[in-house]
Chains A and B, each alone.
Chain A
Amino acid sequence: MNAIECDGLTRHFGNIRAVEKLTLQVPAGSIFALLGSNGAGKTTLLKLILNLLRPSSGQARVLGGDSAKLRADNFQRIGYVAEDVIHPDWMNLSSFLGYHRSLYRSWDSKLESQLRDKFNLPEGIAIKRFSRGMRMKAILLSTLCFRPELLVLDEPFSGLDPQVRDDLIEGILELTAADSPCTVVISSHDIAEIERLADWVGILAHGRIVLAEALTELQFRFRRIEVVGPDVRQQMPDPAPAGWIRAEATTPTLIQFIHTQFNTNTEAELRSMFVNARIQSSQLSLRDIFLATSKSSTSTDGLLT
């Protein structure tokens, strides 16, 4: 079961191709991290999914229905957290939460008081006077409490101090630990935090999906390989085999590269390719995988900032 399915999803702004023929599945119950450089199309994609933008062509299906047909009633099940979506911001926290409580049939008052204790937000002042961190907490609070089936977060952590990030992450995990776990889609630049939180990863570049898969599989197949031995530079295949990126003979006795299709036979294959060499393989952090994939696609058309 997928919570989100995009099929040929496309959105152009004039001649800028912000999202281009994008096909993607987000499994239900996953915490799906959407990574990409600035202008890769993350925010546009999320807005298409939520019917805040219309696709130029193609389709997104969200919780089983066409995203272009999402109505107010559907948003009883879908939460959206982004910096600029706090309304009404002239209210103080209690009135703000009271307002949201009145909108949602599934509002969980117990979760509300639990998260209010945890988030420790000021009660007496208008939300528009909140700091950025406090504002993000207030938005998250108003969203988590109706226990959405799908939670979409656009850059929730950027510019926040570590304590606030931890609070937000605990809040999100509060929702996913429930008996009927919700699907979470997070776009973020904070890859180290996302690596612990996510179990699925999608990488976006120039409006297209570079890869989308389970984090454990991704970290299995991407490996940093070192081949050490006499004269390995001379045995270096030219051109480098498919699936090797940034292959380089650093010294006559050392070849380094990132293998993107590592499997249980790879080490044996490498040993037969390089005579008398020692093969070392190590797993990559999500950050290194992201950097490796983004460096291999450097075209600049279709950028949207």
Chain B
Amino acid sequence: MLPFRIDFHSGEPVYEQVIYAAKKAILSGVLSPGERFPSVRSLSQELKINPNTAHKVVAALTAEGLLAVHPGVGTVVAPSVPGSAEDRAQVLVQDTERLVVEASRLGLTEEQLLNAVRKHWRKLNPSP
């Protein structure tokens, strides 16, 4: 079993969707530093994706410093993931963009959008 799941949707390249799901898992701490990251083979088999795509995903995450290759062990989550608040926010860029685009298409103002977000935030994080 993979430590993250993907509901593939059409319209966005498969590669981007896998990268996004993996980053979310790493930066949100679902996968902790030092933990093994799935091999190219198991990514390909479990997600039923082209092995070249799986390979590109692992290579891109390694190049970004999120994964580290340990000879003999395999690929692991990098010991010190550059998990600043900014990096973690970066994971949500796509979702944020989509939200802003939809809101402006509906003619909402910035204030109305922020209020809607705040309302949801408070629902999930009730202040003591």
Contact = CB atoms under 8 A, between A and B. Distances in A.
Interface string B48-79: 11111100000000000000000000000000
Given A177-B41, A195-B10, A280 B47 contact: no
Contacts of B51: 173, 176-177, 181
Contacts of A301: none
Question: What size tier do the contact residues of chain B reach?
Answer: 10 to 19
Nearest to A30: B52
A288 B13 CA distance: 13
A196 B49 contact: yes
Interface residues of A, number: 29
B50 A192 contact: no
B4 interface: no
A170 B48 contact: yes
Given A177-B41, A280-B101, A196 B13 contact: no
Nearest to B14: A196
Interface string B1-45: 000000010111111000000000000000000000000110011
Nearest to B12: A283
Nearest to A170: B45
A219 B16 CA distance: 11
A282 B50 CA distance: 23
Contacts of B10: 192, 195, 285-288
Interface of B: 8, 10-15, 40-41, 44-45, 47-53, 101
28 contacts: A30-B52, A169-B48, A170-B45, A173-B44, A173-B45, A173-B48, A173-B51, A176-B50, A177-B41, A177-B45, A177-B51, A181-B51, A193-B48, A195-B14, A196-B14, A196-B53, A197-B49, A198-B50, A199-B50, A199-B52, A199-B53, A280-B101, A283-B11, A283-B12, A283-B13, A284-B11, A285-B10, A287-B10
